[in-house]
């Protein structure tokens, strides 16, 4: 990671930026829009991640923020569903209105995590990065990038 990124993460575990009840309202609305012809305003930042639970076998569909580099997508979450991708798992994504297959895996590669955090700050802005826990002021009042504790980083390789 870059020397400006705190590799240990924040002292406190970082949780989702919204309370659970808000996701229960927002997710179905986002899913409907992302599956519709009206998806374009949201599709540059959000996709639908489709996967099967390892233990339950249940099919999940979750709207998530992403960043793309060629055939790779980068997703991060503060939620337990990311455990399904330890060691890799097949997924589908609805990306910009199109369905794609791929393989998702949890990454602990510091270079990948640093890239995700850096792009989050530069592309989504400091305010969003602060809300997500990727940017905070240190003891001297200087803004520093950080890898929030409790955040899982997922790399999806599209087929």
Cβ atoms 129, 120 nearer than 8 A: yes
Question: Average pLDDT of the chain?
Answer: 85
**What are the strands, taking DSSP E only, across the chain?**
5-6, 46-52, 59-65, 67-69, 72-77, 89-95, 98-107, 135-137, 143-146, 152-158
Cβ atoms 74, 122 nearer than 8 A: no
Its pTM stands at 0.79
Count of residues in the chain: 159
Domain coordinates in residue numbering, the chain: 5-158
Full strand arrangement of the beta sheet holding 143-146:
5-6, 143-146, 135-137
Tell me the C-alpha distance between 32 and 42, whole Å.
Answer: 11
In the chain, the percentage of residues whose pLDDT exceeds 70 is: 88
Q: List, for residues 92-124, the tens digit of each pLDDT value.
A: 999 999 999 999 999 988 888 888 888 888 888
Instruction: Check residue 14 and report its DSSP letter.
Output: P
What is the per-residue pLDDT for 13? 47
What is the per-residue pLDDT for 133? 81
The architecture CATH gives domain 5-158: Roll (2.30)
Token reading at 79: 């939620």
Q: List, for residues 18-63, the tens digit of each pLDDT value.
A: 667 777 788 889 989 999 999 999 999 899 999 999 999 999 999 9
Instruction: Check residue 95 and report its DSSP letter.
Output: E
The candidate with the shortest Cα–Cα distance to 121, out of 104, 96, 143, 154, is 143
- Distance from first CA to last CA of the chain, Å, rounded? 28
Instruction: Give whichever of 86-90, 125-129, 131-135, 151-155 has the largest mean pLDDT.
Output: 86-90
What is the per-residue pLDDT for 4? 45
Token reading at 143: 């803004």
Average pLDDT over residues 127-151: 83
């Amino acid at each position: 990671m870059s020397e400006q990124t705190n590799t240990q993460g924040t002292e406190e575990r970082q949780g989702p930026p919204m309370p659970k009840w808000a996701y229960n309202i927002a997710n179905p609305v986002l899913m409907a829009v992302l599956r519709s012809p009206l998806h374009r305003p949201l599709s540059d930042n959000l996709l639908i991640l489709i996967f099967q639970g390892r233990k339950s076998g249940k099919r999940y569909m979750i709207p998530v923020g992403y960043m793309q580099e060629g055939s790779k997508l980068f997703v991060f979450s503060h939620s337990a569903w990311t455990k399904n991708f330890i060691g890799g798992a097949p997924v589908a994504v609805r990306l910009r209105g199109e369905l794609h297959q791929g393989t998702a895996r949890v990454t602990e590669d510091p270079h990948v995590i640093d890239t995700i955090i850096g792009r989050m700050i530069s592309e989504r802005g400091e305010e969003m990065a602060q809300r997500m826990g990727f940017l905070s002021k240190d003891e001297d009042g200087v803004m520093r990038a950080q890898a929030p504790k409790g955040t899982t980083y997922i790399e999806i390789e599209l087929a």
